[in-house]
């Protein structure tokens, strides 16, 4: 989830995506999302097992973003 292009990202794991997105949009998702106004789903990735989803989450959270102006 993101607040706006080239801004704050929230990466998480859930078993019920639609419900979790709705929580974030109602500002009851997480304190981090409330603080930075994160409420737009920009990417979702399915996984067969929770262990796989958590491993992928950790990989994405370690990712370093570098934005360059065109």
Q: What is the pLDDT of residues 8-25, one digit of tens each?
A: 889 999 999 999 999 988
Dig out the tokens for 61 from the structure.
């959270």
Burial 37-61 (b: 16+ CB within 10 A, else e): ebbeeeeeeeeeeeeebeeeeeeee
pTM assigned to the model: 0.76
Dig out the tokens for 46 from the structure.
């399915």
Number of domains in the chain: 1
Q: Please report the pLDDT score of residue 4 as a whole number.
A: 83
Dig out the tokens for 5 from the structure.
């292009």
| Domain membership of residue 43 as a residue range | 1-70
Q: Please report the pLDDT score of residue 13 as a whole number.
A: 94
Q: What is the CA radius of gyration of the chain?
A: 13
Map residue 9 onto helix, strand or coil.
strand
């Amino acid at each position: 989830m993101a607040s706006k292009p080239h801004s704050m990202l929230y990466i998480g794991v859930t078993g019920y995506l639609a419900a979790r997105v709705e929580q974030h949009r109602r500002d009851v998702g997480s304190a981090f999302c409330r603080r930075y106004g994160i409420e737009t789903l920009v990417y979702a990735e399915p996984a067969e097992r929770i262990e796989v989803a958590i491993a992928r989450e950790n990989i994405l959270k370690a990712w370093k973003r570098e934005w360059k102006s065109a």
